[in-house]
Chain A
């Protein structure tokens, strides 16, 4: 914890969010900010990285470093920042199209690496910024602009993927519970290793199926139901309740799984020499001599 107390005001910027009134992403913005303050992180030591989509505008609405990058590429960009300067707190944010569609390859690989970064996905089961097409998490039968007769593809189960890919913190939040969401994100930020948080963040404009009310009727809190977050098998059982095999009448939220295992940073030899950003550039005469001897 920093000696100087960090306050919410430290993260304030003049730019107002451009999301539709009622959008679930407001709660995520508040949640991320509160989590950073709660974890005692100073804005200058934080990088928030996003891809492209409505939710990916998030980094502009708080005071921190970061990159509003390309569609689907938030995780590799965030990974590069973290690898270059492991002292930074790095948060990647984006939507379901960004993370589970175009960026799903990076999603899996980032989780198996177990870098100490936090990935918050604002999942609304729809492509919002392009005005309402089907997404990788749209449910079967969902009528969207690109599936006017109903979606016929199975939705991705992001929590299940995260468990299989080796994420060491796997959770789901709900924008209808801003306080719980902020606490969840803070736990993710404080977790040492890759933290994945799928947030059900309703799109009030283009998704008339998965609304706040739809979720409120279905969400239940894993921890309140006595789920043991250290039990991997139980986590898998809970993960497939929705949206893979369950009857779509229950949406578990909370921490599915949390474990401590070696992070990528702990295994990276280069850090024994120093932080790549802070270390002096160039090679020494001794290093040159050794390299030349190898090529002689």
Chain B
């Protein structure tokens, strides 16, 4: 059977150029009309260790990176040890025997060894040993008959016309790999339908950065922290010439406080970090809440606690995000599932922040932030931007005026007759303090209560703007998977696998987490016969939130906290186990 989907892995040590080689290969496939999903597995080290880049591509949309490989490029022996067992029957390993010693005994039966003089062939075109990667990519391209002209166009765009010699050397090296491999082994049985397609190939963080641009963010502050850093890097590259101030700060406390200052001044402001950085931002979240300053914070989760596994994924920061800050203030939390959704979620977050004048959190994770995905182009210039309610200049400018929605007309510096001090202390409608000489007196008690009610009442309106979870699959399914954020890909692939096995499960996927219409949500969840809640954390953080808000709890749970993303195989195995145990009758909650 001709296969229309391929999985490729490139493995080596940090510093071997694994990620950049993988990215160029992934882009080549994407430009050749394939849907591609790629994931870079790396460690918290600059040189050494073991890193690998996985690419899965094919005719149909791919939603996760795959747990097997058809082609393995092994730049060191460890790559063979770790990844050879995942090779499919007839799969091939490309390696240089002068550097990597592999025998038939090291690989599963049926796997074909493809020893090549990668370094020797590369030497002719460049003194840089990384050129050997290009020779190996050439060999892999020949196995899947990938169009060389697309590879060439990727290189040309990457290095530009200034470095025509680099492009030329790479092309020659790739051709040497193609020639050598074609002669020795010939192509595999892939029939990828190559075509000219103009899709983009990008990471979740790049999508978030594009969402920030399209969403009118003119101020972005950050402190480098994996896996959020690349948002700032993309914006630092492209933002200033588009008029976006991009500021690397001394710490995350400065990051969020600057963003609040910028939001107060009247521009759309955003910042991003991971869990450790967000822990430092917690106090200022409350200030954005009480000063009613629009603010978007993107938190890309990685394995905690503390420094945890800095380069590995998790969904473990929902509790912190929900509990961030002393006292109560309204917050909005959204957790996009895919790369295109990350783009849209960022625009939505910027709109919601100004509409409700309160902090909005976009919860990503390492998997979503850093994996590459093929996507249709984003219609950035057509983004709908809603800026909320602004003071019209008439009457006294009461910045914290009591209103039915809880949102008061916004006033920004530079507006005549509107001057006010936004206080982190409790304040009256006109922004005067009630915390010092008035606190505890009857009128101040009233003011405090009214201002609290006003702020918290925004949640009632905001929940109408948020999306209820998406439900897919048959009604009355024997099992309904419940998940949030980036787990979507593994869930959908698991559903497809189960369907092939004759079991049609359903899926409820949350993109927006807080606030929701809890009554409606409870009704939706209680309709399911058997719910399996899937979360990438130890304690079931969304489950606990749902239980607190609705009283609902799932029939069973699947938690993963080993640093790796959910694989469809994890979910399929759990569903198999559940179906053996699941009661035949409806489950009573």
Using a CB–CB cutoff of 8 Å, the interface residues on chain A facing chain B are: 15, 18, 43-49, 52, 57, 59-60, 63-70, 73, 76-85, 87-88, 105-106, 108-109, 268-274, 276-277, 279, 281-285, 287-288, 291-296
Contact = CB atoms under 8 A, between A and B. Distances in A.
B257 to A, nearest CB: 4
| Interface-centre pick from A48, A87, A296 (highest chain B CB count, 10 A) | A296
A295 B210 CA distance: 11
Contact of A68 (B261, B387, B413, B422): B422
Interface in B455-475: none
B166 interface: no
Given A57-B433, A60-B433, A67-B422, A76 B258 contact: yes
Nearest to B431: A60
B265 A283 contact: no
Contacts of B287: 69-70
7 contacts: A67-B421, A77-B261, A80-B259, A84-B245, A270-B240, A277-B265, A277-B266
B264 A81 contact: yes
A272 B245 CA distance: 11
Interface residues of B, number: 75
Q: Which 9 A-B pairs have the closest CB atoms?
A: A80-B261, A281-B216, A273-B243, A80-B258, A76-B257, A276-B218, A84-B262, A269-B240, A84-B265
A45 to B, nearest CB: 6
Given A67-B291, A283-B213, A106 B243 contact: no
A81 B201 contact: no
Interface in B229-251: 238-247, 249-251
A83 B421 contact: no
Contacts of B215: 281
B565 to A, nearest CB: 23
A291 B210 contact: yes
Nearest to A286: B381
Given A60-B421, A84-B262, A109-B250, A283 B242 contact: yes
A115 to B, nearest CB: 11
A114 B575 CA distance: 60
Interface in B262-311: 262-269, 283-284, 287, 291
Given A83-B219, A295-B201, A285 B381 contact: yes
Contacts of A291: 210, 213, 238, 380
Contact of A77 (B219, B251, B258): B258
B433 to A, nearest CB: 6
B443 interface: no
Interface in B368-420: 377-381, 383, 385, 387, 412-420
B207 to A, nearest CB: 9
B216 A44 contact: no
Given A15-B433, A76-B253, A83-B258, 7 more contacts: A80-B221, A81-B265, A83-B261, A83-B262, A106-B250, A288-B381, A291-B210
Contact of A277 (B412, B418, B423, B425): B412
Nearest to B250: A109
| Interface-centre pick from A78, A105, A283, A285 (highest chain B CB count, 10 A) | A283
Contact of A287 (B216, B380, B416): B380
| Interface-centre pick from A287, A291, A294 (highest chain B CB count, 10 A) | A291
A283 to B, nearest CB: 5
A59 to B, nearest CB: 5
B183 interface: no
A268 B241 CA distance: 10
Given A87-B414, A281-B385, A80 B260 contact: yes
Contacts of A288: 214, 377-381
Contacts of B202: 295
Contacts of B246: 270
A70 to B, nearest CB: 6
A49 to B, nearest CB: 7
B555 to A, nearest CB: 42
B262 A276 contact: yes
A2 B273 CA distance: 42
A44 B416 contact: yes
Contacts of B221: 80
B254 interface: yes
A47 B265 contact: yes
A282 B216 contact: yes
A268 B422 contact: no
Given A67-B291, A84-B262, A276 B267 contact: yes
B198 interface: yes
Given A76-B249, A269-B240, A66 B415 contact: no
A296 B200 contact: yes
A76 B267 contact: no
B432 interface: yes
Contacts of B414: 44-45, 65, 85, 87-88, 277
A73 B432 contact: no
A57 B221 CA distance: 27
Contacts of A68: 421-425, 433
B273 to A, nearest CB: 14
B104 interface: no
Nearest to A105: B250
A292 B202 CA distance: 10
B266 to A, nearest CB: 4
B574 to A, nearest CB: 36
B60 interface: no
